[in-house]
Structure 1
């Protein structure tokens, strides 16, 4: 552990948005209380797994990784906003409404089965994006010393939260200029692990809404094992469409394939790479 990490601390926000997240924590980097500088911000979905002491070690350890990267001079110190998911309603919270609205009947049926499984009558993802951009981010920018511009604001998520991180990057593009999607479940698999005709093209069309890069950065990755093996066509389609819009690989867009499994199974392989590139 970096010695400087001893001077970091975590604050928990008061419970004012229980319908969006049961808990929101803010990691304040070493030095935050010692000067008046302003900091860029990384928002982390599935926030209950964000920090090194979370979930008995099954976590992203973003706090220790951030401190190590900052100590090495690879990134600036960031505030980290960890937003817990809604538990059983995680899919309801993170499945993009816009994709459901434009999807085929087979995709919509998969989504509707998952809604029924948890007793929900609708997706809550559109309201989550609106809340994140319209309420939580302004609150954080007012209460803490942040640099609020979109190029200083990043969003990260894994698996279906990786899908939501992509949706936030698209639909809240005025506020979030850096995005990372780890093992995103673009295929929206059901129990049969089927491929849906036209869905990859739908995702590519969806991402085309972001236009030219304008200094932004987007990270996409997937593994070669487990369910991740089926994600390659989606990543290829999205990256290809962005390339047509001027997103240069290595500068604005980074796509990686890891010889590992899904999300947490491959986290140790990539988080330093991801954060070091995304936040540089």
Structure 2
């Protein structure tokens, strides 16, 4: 037994030394229940990357529908985007730059009126607009108010309390469905503040009630005159082929033609079709790596 003891101790030492360190993970914190001017109250979370260091600065992605991004145990459908898991993995693999995620909860029953672009609503035929406002938008478009909240309240708070880049090219917005619409609208309204947007399963019809093409027609008319400079903005789009996503292909083709006319190229613009993907948080989680690598990929 005495002869075996040194060998046993040596084995334990080697085993301990060979046990890999657990991978570093980011940190999620709730920074409060905000009450933006002219908007409903909503929670905002900030996720900081693994080994967050105030001696360096980080790019920022503002993401919509924040309550659906991190914790499936608290979502209405038991699904989540798995933002933290995907960010941790991509950072650990060296595929993206470490970044800070700002997750803004939607306004609950005001989600559609927060996310459907105000200037598009204003351009609709009067009778159609009035019906849309009454039936779906709680009698008022709030998208301009929501965008101003991000620019005038949220972004300055993040810059004042976190170690973030001061370069507009390091700020992005991301969302899905109606969140895709408001992400694109944000960079058209304030291109000087952002370096790009990722729009997943963009709900171009703009409504769940009216599907006669009136809203997307107004949307594309607006975009034809308000696209950001392609040399200073990256735009990512995708959609699946199942359920609601099966409607999006012709609309996305129109968006692609507008971007091409503005001079967007492959380095600054991307559209991907995911065959078999549906319109759900589970589907967006499965392909979240694609927009993150497009926006944050290392040169």
Offset at 1:58?
A: 0.8
Offset at 1:167?
A: 1.1
Query: 1:203 aligned to 219, 226, 242, which one?
Result: 219
Larger radius of gyration: 2
Question: Match of 1:210, SS?
Answer: coil
Q: 1:21 to 1:201 in 2, by over 3 A?
A: same
Offset at 1:264?
A: 2.2
Query: 1:50 aligned to 64, 69, 90, which one?
Result: 69
Contact 1:159/1:263, CA 8 A, preserved across alignment = no
Query: 2:16 — aligned with what?
Result: none
Normalising by structure 1, what TM-score? 0.88
Distance in 2 separating the partners of 1:258 and 1:16: 35
Contact 1:38/1:147, CA 8 A, preserved across alignment = yes
Offset at 1:14?
A: 3.4
RMSD of aligned C-alpha atoms? 2.2
Normalising by structure 2, what TM-score? 0.83
Query: 2:204 aligned to 162, 173, 186, which one?
Result: 186
Number of residue-to-residue matches in the alignment: 270
2:48 paired with 1:22: no
| Deviant stretches of 4+, over 3 Å | 2-6, 18-21, 52-57, 104-107, 199-202
Offset at 1:278?
A: 2.0
Offset at 1:126?
A: 0.7
Query: 2:102 aligned to 62, 78, 81, which one?
Result: 81
Q: 1:32 to 1:237 in 2, by over 3 A?
A: same
Query: 1:114 — aligned with what?
Result: 136
Query: 1:142 aligned to 160, 168, 177, which one?
Result: 160
Contact 1:24/1:81, CA 8 A, preserved across alignment = yes
Runs (5+) with no aligned partner, structure 2: 1-20
Offset at 1:114?
A: 0.8
Offset at 1:106?
A: 6.9
Distance in 1 separating the partners of 2:57 and 2:95: 18
CA offsets, 1:2-32, max 9 Å, x none?
94444x2222223443545421111111111
Offset at 1:148?
A: 2.8
Runs (5+) with no aligned partner, structure 1: none
